[in-house]
Structure 1
Amino acid sequence: MIKWGETLAFVGVLLAASALAVTARRLRPIEKLPDLPGWALADRSLGPVTTWFLLGGSIFTAYTFAAVPGLVYAAGAIGFFPFVYTALLCPVLFVLLPRLWRAARDAGAVTVADWVRHRYGSPALMLAVALTGVLATMPYIALQLIGVRAVLIAGGLYPPGLVGDLALTAVFAVLAVATYRSGLRAPTVIAFFKGVLIFTATIGVLLVVLHLLGGPDAALATAERRLGATTGRSLFLDPELGPAFVSLAVGSALALPMYPHVLTAAFAADGPAALRRASVAMPAWTMLLGLFSVLAVAALAAGITAPPGRAEVAVPMLVSAVVPAEASGIVFGALVVGALVPAAVMSVAVAALFTRNVYVPFFHPTATPKHEVRVSRMVSLLVKFAAIGFVFGLREQDSINLQLLGGVWILQTMPAVVLGLVSSWWHRHGLLAGWLAGMVTGTVLVVVRGFTSVVAVGSVLLYVALVALAVNLAVAAVATIVLRRRGSGAVMST
């Protein structure tokens, strides 16, 4: 049965977001010839408030708001690790992003791979960083759509069959057109809308739900009892899982700033001060994710029964069950808008990486700035429709597995990106060898163990990406020592 109030509120939110996206270019017109810094980085003009909305909107994705509560709902305490890693992420962003922004600006870099080439004088290392970013980001975009589809199905807003698929494609097509025209400015404008909408909706839903359940203490006690009865798990962490919990949190906090969409949002800031202020305020987004995790506890307490293997729909089912139709339509609309911002930033980031670090240096070294923009626009479209193909052509688990690999892979770029900021000791060929060793080690461990995120090292469970990073750094250090002793040339440019 169609809930017309819910449907109309949902459509209204999408129409408002679409209108903002397609008019983004008119809000701050700049009279100049098109170039890639203008299209991909909004001319590095974003102040601290805008940067906070864009960074938060890019990092905290729609899939995050579906998958994290789903993990808490299904697995209990271990599902809270994203809440911890996003808290750890804030000081990492505060220290890393301003310094990297300044280094990129001084090098005239649009992408992080641009800066890697400038710093080390190595086209091969630049290509490794660029292709890793592209490969890690593509399934991430697809997961935004998978998260949206899961939410809408749970809310009864996704028509079955071809009609629903076409509706999802149409929503994404509007975003594709807006990003093609306006570049990063389109998701920047939507990020304001997303922030206001999702903070308001989450706090409102949580207050309603906790009131119905008799308060936080009663909800927690009921949820703990029901989770234990159904799965044997607990909302409180088993000490034996401590190393896995900590390594997942630390590894994720180190990996996330390496994603191209995060660095693209950071490079668009107008200076280090804007990034520091935005990073200081980032815990507000962490609080929001924590509130979503509390909604998962509330779903357990309310007796919500998600379909087997679909724990991510538990919170949407709770919203649909206890919130008035019009309000639930706004909540679902907020979650869809939550997918549009990171998906758009990701497509811009991938397009810039491909254009600047693959197409121009290896295929068209004489490309003009206007030609770079034209290629990036086309690639951004292809990336979005490739993501649609991922969603409709692959099983959801395949996309999740690829995203797991993406998290392992992207962390292997950290030595090349970060070590060059603090030291001139590392040799470019050593870093390339370390990157390759880390990629192979991480991929083998994930695939051989059936796509799990942790691996046993002795009797301790650790995040695969951190194990691969340790191999990466060890190989890079040994190779650097050997190459420096052989006097094989300068380690990096200055």
Structure 2
Amino acid sequence: MDMIPVIFKYFFMLLYVGSTFYLSYIGMKKTKDLKGFAIGNKDMSPLLVGVTMAASISSTATFVINPGFVYNHGLSAYLHYGVAATLGIIAALVTLSKGFRKLGAESGSLTIPDWIRHRYGSKMLALFFAILNLFSIAFIVLILIGCASITAQLFGISKTLALTLGLVFTFSYVLMGGTYAHAYTNSLQGILMIVVACILFVSGWEYWQSGFVNELKSVGENFASMYNPEPFNDKTPLYYSFFSVFASGFIITFALMFQPHILTKVLYIKEEKDVNKFLITTLVVGFTFSLVLFVGFYARFAGLEISNQDDTVGIYITQIYSQSLGGKCLLAFVAVTLLAAGMSTLDGILVSLSAMVVNDIYMPFTNSQDGMSKFGLALSRYVLIGIGLVAFILALNPPPLVGIFAQQGVYALAAASFAPIVIGVLSKRKIHYSIMFTAAFLAVGIHFYLNLFAGVTNPSVSSSIAMLISMGVTLVLLAATHKKSEA
């Protein structure tokens, strides 16, 4: 009987790996050039794209890392990630999707830097954003470490071996099929993630029956408070005010939709009439995924002592599902699905970054169209291998809290993209690229200064402040140039 969970664990893992490679093979047959690798051939269902988008947004951060913040900081962290962030996603997608898709379709854009080049007419501005997008490697490191932690606990192997296996697996199937592999495998991963999100939410049903608010208060007054004033790592608190909990959560998540692997999803859609179906699917599936954040509460209510908050989900599911035969089988299913959650975002980032390096960094210096040929497709795959090696080296010796490390890098990219994309979509006037270069450079500088030197520990706060200042300066410059042109 003890062998049944072990057999089930390996069987389900092999089934998942086999299904993923099969879907990647199907995608490979449709991938003929760099355009097909980057955004497909616009023949995907809006429902499929919606599930792909939701899975890309809700990855290891949602399923593995962020519940650890809820475990440590309580209600304030949940309001930040579960409420404010959800509203930010809704606002960004509803406000910008149609306009971004329309301009991208008209110009034939493949990446966000490519979209910026067409919008503002500057190759140098696009190159600047392509380099900034390399900050996404910090998020790749987060996903790799989160997946390695789950794999190591599930199969009893070292984290280094788990990290190596995860890297080889993901890069193998992405190399095969690009965007189609990403979208098709995400549909499988998304379905698994929906099931597991519901299972994990229901796993703490006893705490709802006994009174969820009472459980919060039993942990501590600050844990149950909307704003938690407790210091973080002997520094300033993370979620201590309206701005740090709600405003920054909304603003930063709004801007995170501009990551290279997220907003470009709308470019997969052929007809504008399909955008609404895509949006509804994304929002419903994404809300279901956010239920996983409650694991942070459940782990604290269960009295689990967790020294490294990034291990919260892994320790919790091991604790509650390892007591019976059925529970051990369910544990294997949940653990493999948590790995799938990480892969669902990792493959999207890899496709976007490799296409971006070829299309926005390599091609502008060659003045050729090689990027659109089979050579461009091959080069994007070589770039993919290079990105993987860099991420692997960083993941071997990560910082103590990989969630904060990833936020520092990715939130810098979000801050830089905020003004150029929002104004680029909502404004119809011609805007000189120098204004957007100033906005992006200023946002990155302010974010890093506040976070690294001015004592603003929460990266979402420093990034949000940077975005607000950057947008304010941009609007002033736009108003000044408008008056000058009228004169």
CA deviations 1:44-99 (Å, max 9, x no partner) are 22212111211011110123212221111110122111111123312421231122
Are 1:183 and 2:178 an aligned pair?
yes
**Structure 2 residue matching 1:13: 3-state secondary structure:** helix
Alpha-carbon offset, residue 364 of structure 1:
5.1
Are 1:466 and 2:437 an aligned pair?
no
CA deviations 1:460-482 (Å, max 9, x no partner) are xx822221112222333344455
Are 1:227 and 2:226 an aligned pair?
no
Structure 1: gaps spanning 5 or more residues: 455-461, 489-494
Are 1:430 and 2:425 an aligned pair?
no
The equivalent of 2:142 in structure 1 is 143
Are 1:354 and 2:357 an aligned pair?
yes
Closer/same/farther in 2, CA of residues 8 and 189 from structure 1, 3 Å limit: farther
Q: Is the 1:347–1:380 Cα contact (8 Å) retained in structure 2?
A: yes
CA distance in 2, matches of 1:377, 1:22: 17
Pick from 160, 166, 181 the counterpart of residue 161 of structure 2.
166
The equivalent of 2:329 in structure 1 is 326
1:311-460 matched pairs, under 5 angstroms = 311-323=309-321, 324-363=327-366, 365-367=368-370, 369-397=373-401, 400-423=404-427, 424=429, 426-449=431-454, 452-453=457-458
Higher mean Cα deviation, 366-375 or 9-18? 9-18
CA distance in 1, matches of 2:89, 2:403: 25
Are 1:122 and 2:122 an aligned pair?
yes
Q: Is the 1:209–1:322 Cα contact (8 Å) retained in structure 2?
A: no
Alpha-carbon offset, residue 296 of structure 1:
2.0
Are 1:195 and 2:209 an aligned pair?
no
Higher mean Cα deviation, 76-85 or 90-99? 90-99
CA deviations 1:392-426 (Å, max 9, x no partner) are 03334367324323213323212222312232153
CA distance in 2, matches of 1:87, 1:16: 36
Alpha-carbon offset, residue 24 of structure 1:
2.5
**Structure 1 residue matching 2:155: 3-state secondary structure:** coil
The equivalent of 1:61 in structure 2 is 59
Higher mean Cα deviation, 58-67 or 81-90? 81-90
Are 1:204 and 2:199 an aligned pair?
yes
CA distance in 2, matches of 1:327, 1:219: 27
Letter in structure 1 aligned against 2:329 = E
Alpha-carbon offset, residue 28 of structure 1:
6.1
The equivalent of 2:231 in structure 1 is none
The equivalent of 1:457 in structure 2 is none
Closer/same/farther in 2, CA of residues 369 and 396 from structure 1, 3 Å limit: farther
Q: Is the 2:61–2:403 Cα contact (8 Å) retained in structure 1?
A: no
Closer/same/farther in 2, CA of residues 219 and 152 from structure 1, 3 Å limit: farther
The equivalent of 1:134 in structure 2 is 134
Structure 2: gaps spanning 5 or more residues: 229-239, 322-326
Q: Is the 2:27–2:181 Cα contact (8 Å) retained in structure 1?
A: no
Alpha-carbon offset, residue 118 of structure 1:
1.4
Higher mean Cα deviation, 5-14 or 195-204? 5-14
CA distance in 1, matches of 2:150, 2:172: 24
CA deviations 1:173-201 (Å, max 9, x no partner) are 12212111211111222212212212222
CA deviations 1:224-281 (Å, max 9, x no partner) are 24421xxx52233139622221222221232121000102333223333333212123
Q: Is the 2:193–2:338 Cα contact (8 Å) retained in structure 1?
A: yes
The equivalent of 1:491 in structure 2 is none
CA distance in 1, matches of 2:290, 2:409: 25
Closer/same/farther in 2, CA of residues 275 and 152 from structure 1, 3 Å limit: same
CA distance in 2, matches of 1:207, 1:383: 38
Closer/same/farther in 2, CA of residues 20 and 275 from structure 1, 3 Å limit: farther
CA distance in 1, matches of 2:97, 2:302: 42
CA deviations 1:89-130 (Å, max 9, x no partner) are 124212311221121111011112112111211112111222
Higher mean Cα deviation, 110-119 or 323-332? 110-119
Letter in structure 1 aligned against 2:467 = L
Pick from 38, 41, 45 the counterpart of residue 40 of structure 1.
38
Letter in structure 1 aligned against 2:435 = G
Alpha-carbon offset, residue 142 of structure 1:
1.0
CA distance in 2, matches of 1:397, 1:296: 16
State the percentage of identical aligned residues. 17
Alpha-carbon offset, residue 138 of structure 1:
0.7
CA distance in 2, matches of 1:483, 1:87: 33
**Structure 2 residue matching 1:258: 3-state secondary structure:** coil
CA RMSD of aligned residues (A): 2.7
The count of residues paired between Structure 1 and Structure 2 equals 466
Closer/same/farther in 2, CA of residues 286 and 177 from structure 1, 3 Å limit: closer
Q: Is the 1:203–1:291 Cα contact (8 Å) retained in structure 2?
A: yes
Alpha-carbon offset, residue 140 of structure 1:
0.6
